[in-house]
Amino acid sequence: MRRFLSRLTGDSVYVLIGFPLATISLCLVLTGVVAGVGLWIVWIGLPILALTMLVARGMGDVERLRISRVLGTELARPRYPRPPAEAGLLRRLWTPLSGGQPWLDVLHALAVFPVATVTFGVVITWWGVTLFALTYPLYGWITSNIPDNHQLPELLGLGTGYVVDSVFYLAVGVVAAATLYPVVRGCAVLQASLGKVLLTGVAELRERIEDLTEGRQAAAHAEANALRRLERDIHDGPQQRLVHLAMELSRAQRELKKDAMAAEATIGKAITATRETLDELRALSRGIAPPILADRGLAPALAALAGRCTVPVELDVQVTERFPALIENTVYFVTAEALTNVAKHSRATSCSVTLARIGDTLLLTIGDDGVGGAHVAKGHGLAGLADRLRAVEGELSVRSPVGGPTTIMAEVPCG
């Protein structure tokens, strides 16, 4: 109830204060634009327009602060152009006029006035009807006894007298009070939405573009790291084994003519090396595109990862549905990398992996009872996980105090 009243009060204050602010903004900005354009030919118009733009910017900042309280979210402030430090007077006067956002501030100052006028009138009327009707029994005995004072119930043919008037106005007051919150809220959101579109739309679009750019760069960085790691693993593992295998087979070929028993032993070693190389290549292929993930989904794939980990893993997968390949691959590789770090660095005796869906987000939680000290700084193993998650607009958080335990939480959008 307290939250309801707080919201109703806040929305009412926003609309009621918005009207005088819109009036002041309209008068200042409209006057400044007209005067600046009219006096442009004699160069006085330029400083007038520059000052007008600064006024519109200031009024926009005030409105952005008010809108954030109505909508319950922080709004991005646009990036306004700034003149260079060595700029002259003419350049400094021209800078406030450059770019699109200053003119959107002016447009908001002009467009918000009619909207603020309507919302102000609606809110004042609804509050007035509510208060007047609900309190009518307190003063209605006076107005009902005034001669020739025709009340609304009488005009509607419902009868006359204090009791009839009180019942009628109380009913009207109850209806007005019941609809007061949605009406006031609707007016506040309407006015705030107009301000959000004009005052922060470009800034939010720019932030979105920057986030996508950062995500693309993170994806490219993560992919490059993965390819470098794969190249290193192939060079240090299968490639060396194949070189050794070729040498062994060459030696067996030479020994075959001289000592068949020695050649047989050499070939046996080569066969063993071949099997080991195949096992290593299969392990590397799982890091590229695990077939079990594509064929059966996350639950079996994560179970296979947990089974191969050298630290005992308690697995709890609470999702059964399939997701886009990019989402499943991200969850799989984050889990694989995290379990690899647990096995190599944590000195843990147990580990837990939980995957659950909360709304449109997959929440992956990996914990261990190791020595802690893990973080996502550049140059550490978890930094690659953060890059991979940013590529799908996900987030990574790590709690790992020195001495442990460690908890890694990855949020992956899936909606």
- CA pair distance 394, 379, nearest whole angstrom: 20
Residue 221 buriedness (CB in 10 A; 0-12 / 13-18 / 19+): middle
- CA pair distance 407, 365, nearest whole angstrom: 7
Q: Is the entire prediction scored with pTM above 0.95? A: no
SS (H, E, C) the chain: CHHHHHHHHHHHHHHHHHHHHHHHHHHHHHHHHHHHHHCHHHCCHHHHHHHHHHHHHHHHHHHHHHHHHHHCCCCCCCCCCCCCCCCCHHHHHHHHHCCCHHHHHHHHHHHHHHHHHHHHHHHHHHHHHHHHHHCHHHHHHHHHCCCCCCCHHHHCCCCCCHHHHHHHHHHHHHHHHHHHHHHHHHHHHHHHHHHHHHHHHHHHHHHHHHHHHHHHHHHHHHHHHHHHHHHHHHHHHHHHHHHHHHHHHHHHHHHHHHCHHHHHHHHHHHHHHHHHHHHHHHHHHHHHCCHHHHHHCHHHHHHHHHHHCCCCEEEEECCCCCCCHHHHHHHHHHHHHHHHHHHHHHCCCCEEEEEEEECCEEEEEEEECCCCCCCCCCCCHHHHHHHHHHCCCCEEEEECCCCCCEEEEEEEECC
Copy the structure tokens of residue 74. Answer: 């922080």
Widest CA span of the chain, in angstroms?
A: 137
Q: For the chain, which residues make up each domain, given as ranges? A: 2-210, 222-287, 297-413
297-413 belongs to which homologous superfamily? Histidine kinase-like ATPase, C-terminal domain (3.30.565.10)
- CA pair distance 364, 362, nearest whole angstrom: 6
Per-residue model confidence as pLDDT tens digits over 51-99: 888 888 889 888 888 988 888 877 777 777 777 777 777 777 777 777 7
User: Which residue positions in the chain have pLDDT lower than 50?
Assistant: none
> What's the pLDDT at 324?
85
> What's the pLDDT at 186?
92
